[in-house]
Amino acid sequence: MNIDDIAKLIGVSNATVSRAINNSGYVKEETRRKIFEVIEKHQYVPNAVARSLSTRDTLSIGVIIPDIENEFFSSIISGISEVAEQNHYNIHFLGSNETLGIEHAFLDTVQGQRLSGVIITPISEVDPITKARLIHLEKSGIPVVLVDRDIDDAIFEGVFVDNIAGAYDGVNELIKAGHRKIAIIKGPETSKPGKERLIGYKKALEEANIDLSCEYMVPGNFKIMHSYKGTEVLLNLSDPPTAIFACSNMTTLGCLKYLTEKKIKLGKDISLIGFDDIEILKLIDYKISVIDRDAKQQGREAMRLMLERLKNKGEKKHTRFNVPYQVILRGSERLDR
């Protein structure tokens, strides 16, 4: 059942049916009524693939996110979807699972499907293939909007957070609470959040005249198990830290897992501040201090930026901005003595 079948059934041309469906151009009221009657009766739904080919517009946005099981990203998606829906855009969600190969393949999918735009949290800031494909997308008229993570040289639009200031403020709270031996479980330094949160950490220590110690800066990749091991390394140092700055929600969880297993008491044996809040822990009033921001809002803003681009036929205004963050102190930054 296609548009020609519908047209034949009524005795008009497919052009007329098309006009009625799309509410474009004139159609006699009676004809229009008949058309919708037949459509209704046969439950005809126009073929969007054909429509897209003809109009050269898919009205769909690709969303590429590294980890769908991370609540931060599900909130982002949720925000994007909300705004997309209101504006009658479909979203094609693609989870890269923090794997570059998958990310590359998805970028090809975006190109192949001729999606209207792509919103992406790229895994790495320096991966040349992702960068090249994103540039190529823009060249082919498919706007790119970044969320939270960046690409080399800041050439794309995007919605971020001030990681440096956030980390700085957070670590400062640890210092204010009397800590001098402050460790960091880092994020990947090939990502904007990983890189910048480390900068904020260093800046806070330096201003407080605390010497930086390599031993106190352990690598991480925003994954629970990696952070678990990082915590283990830290706490087995001959001179262990008294406080830890965990660079993401997953990092915080890995850290908590280790502390829990070893029965090391938060706020008593060790202090902790994390980046990004953890909803479930709030519900059960498990108190960890965090630097937080509204991820859903960040998703909404990203989609709005995309709509802006789309409205201006892809013209880039180079809009890049941060959503606000806040430091939420719940006590885990202190030691009760």
Partner DNA sequence: CTGAAAGCGCTTACAG
- Buried b or exposed e, range 152-180, using 16+ CB within 10 angstroms: eeeebbbbbbbbbebbbbbbbbbbebebe
Which position among 14, 31, 109, 319 is part of the footprint of its own copies (CB under 8 A)? Answer: 109
In the bound complex, what is the minimum distance in angstroms from residue 18's beta carbon to DNA? Answer: 3
Which position among 8, 25, 33, 176 is part of the footprint of DNA (CB under 7 A)? Answer: 25
Structure tokens at 140: 């082919």
CB 159 within 8 A of CB 147: yes
CB 192 within 8 A of CB 160: yes
Residue 209 binding DNA, by CB under 7 A = no
Please report the beta strands in 96-208, taking only residues with DSSP state E, as ranges in sequence order.
117-120, 144-147, 157-161, 182-185
In the bound complex, what is the minimum distance in angstroms from residue 94's beta carbon to its own copies? Answer: 8
Scanning residues 195 to 214, which ones bind its own copies (CB under 8 A)?
none
Q: Which does 214 bind (CB under 5 to 8 A by kind): its own copies, DNA, none?
A: none
In the bound complex, what is the minimum distance in angstroms from residue 232's beta carbon to its own copies? Answer: 15
DSSP SS3 for 145 = strand
- The residues facing 144 across adjacent strands are 118
Interaction pattern, residues 33-62, with DNA; x per rule: CB under 7 A? -------------xx--xx-xxxx------
DSSP SS3 for 149 = coil
Q: Which does 93 bind (CB under 5 to 8 A by kind): DNA, its own copies, none?
A: its own copies
CA angle (36 as vertex; 33, 38 as ends), nearest 5? 110
Q: How many residues bind to DNA according to rule CB under 7 A? A: 28
In the bound complex, what is the minimum distance in angstroms from residue 266's beta carbon to its own copies? Answer: 10
The residue among 36 and 93 lying less far from its own copies, judged by its C-beta, is 93
CB 288 within 8 A of CB 274: yes
In the bound complex, what is the minimum distance in angstroms from residue 6's beta carbon to its own copies? Answer: 15
DSSP string, 13-61: -HHHHHHHHHT-S---HHHHHHHHHHHHHHT----HHHHHHHHT---EE
**Interface with its own copies by CB under 8 A: which residues?**
43, 45-50, 52-53, 58, 68-69, 71, 74-75, 77-78, 81, 85, 90-95, 97, 102, 108-109, 111-114, 136, 224, 253, 256-257, 260-261, 278, 280-281, 283-286
Which residues would be at the binding site for DNA (CB under 7 A)?
A: 2-4, 11-16, 18-19, 21-22, 24-29, 31, 46-47, 50-51, 53-56
